[in-house]
Structure 1
Amino acid sequence: MKNKDISYHIAQINIAQAKADKDSEIMSGFISRLDEIHTLADNAPGFIWRLETEDGDDGSVSVFNDPLLLINMSVWRDIDSLRAFVYKSIHIELLQDRDAWFDKMGEIHQTLWWVPAGHIPTIQEGKDKLDQIREFGPTAEAFTFGKKFPSPT
């Protein structure tokens, strides 16, 4: 039986294959906007947490054997808050220009999942959720904006 007093938040992981090292000219347009986008996220309604190093740089978090495979993870109050940030803020400009900086990935590279309020997902948890959606498609355990599932409560 589920505890009805627990509320849930939405977690997300997104990985991207950079075309070049982050110090390269190719990546400069993306890297130059990171502080702006991080500040926007940090101050966005519904934002709770994002993966970052101690100095606030999520671009330096290396979790895969490929240094050009970048990771972004965050937790938001709800799907609507996350969707508003991703698609209805200046963040959309980065999505529109992503082909300049990132190669197309041959497999699913992002997923959403529900976490109990107060839970900060680990990198391994995010990798596991990517594996789940790749193997089983969208389910209540790992899903997408296009095929979302309601909170467990």
Structure 2
Amino acid sequence: MPHLALYTFGVLKLPLADPAPLTREFYDTGEAVYRKIGRHPGYLGRAEPADADRGMLFGADWGAWGEFAVPTWYGKGRTVETTALATTLSLWTDLRPAFDAVYTGLHREALNRRYDWFERTGQPNYVCWWVSDGVIPTWQDGVSRLEHLHDHASAPHAFTFHQSFAPDGTPTRIKDIGPKSDQSH
């Protein structure tokens, strides 16, 4: 059975190495969110560097997730001292569990504060797509799908939760998604 790949990308206002309280708060919140999401039903795994220091993304060993990559619109630093981005690449059993993990609980609280930490870029900040069972998506897959979403809108190749597609490419809808559902969380 296919699995859902989810790539997220955001440009931070401050570099990850910045000693400001806002950066510390972002890290602390992020660590709590990762712990919670890692126990969420339907979560299969996420890209994590095998041997990197905190904040090291470029040049880290990401194993089967491939070489680290970023969208063409990212124009900030690429060293540990200057990198100003937050990104994830994860694998899920289906749309609903991924949607629930993103839009409920601790992650939802963090989303409500995203503009404290992230710049408003006008670019999409996440993309979903289906992968065959046993396939591990790569960072480059995520980047190319996010750029495709930006250039062409939702399609079976690259889509959002709100304009989603089933593994066979037919449009689908997550039950109870939308403004009514978002207000209840």
TM-score, normalised to structure 1, is 0.87
The residue number in structure 1 matching 2:179 is none
Q: SS of 2:122's equivalent? A: coil
Q: Which amino acid aligns with 1:10?
A: L
**Which residues of structure 2 form unaligned runs of 5+?**
59-68, 77-82, 170-185
Q: Is the 8 A contact 1:52 1:58 kept in 2?
A: no
Shift of 1:122: 0.6
| 2:168 counterpart letter in structure 1 | P
Query: Cα distance 1:43–1:51, how it changes in 2: closer, same or farther (>3 A)?
Result: same
**Residue of structure 2 in register with 1:68 after alignment:** 84
Match of 1:87 among 103, 122, 129: 103
Find the residue that maps to 2:164 and give its secondary structure. coil
* Higher relative contact order structure (alpha carbons within 8 Å, sequence separation ≥ 6): 1
Which residue in 2 is equivalent to 1:53?
Answer: 49
Q: Paired residue for 2:178?
A: none
Report 1:1-153 matches (<5 A): 7-24=1-18, 25=20, 26-54=22-50, 60-62=56-58, 63-64=69-70, 66=76, 67-152=83-168
Query: Which segments of 5 or more consecutive residues in structure 1 lack a partner in the other structure?
Result: 1-6
TM value normalised by structure 2: 0.73
**Distance of aligned partners of 1:126 and 1:138 in 2 relative to their CA distance in 1, 3 Å threshold:** same
CA shift for structure 1 position 56: 8.2
- Number of aligned residue pairs: give it: 147
The structural deviation recorded for 1:88 is: 1.5
Aligned-partner SS, 2:17: coil
Alpha-carbon RMSD: 2.0
Secondary structure at the residue paired with 2:111? helix
How high is the sequence identity, in percent, across the aligned residues? Answer: 27
Secondary structure in 2 matching 1:90: helix
Q: Matched residue of 1:11: which SS?
A: strand
Residue in structure 2 matched with residue 4 of structure 1 by the alignment: none
Is the partner of 1:81 in helix, strand or coil? Answer: helix
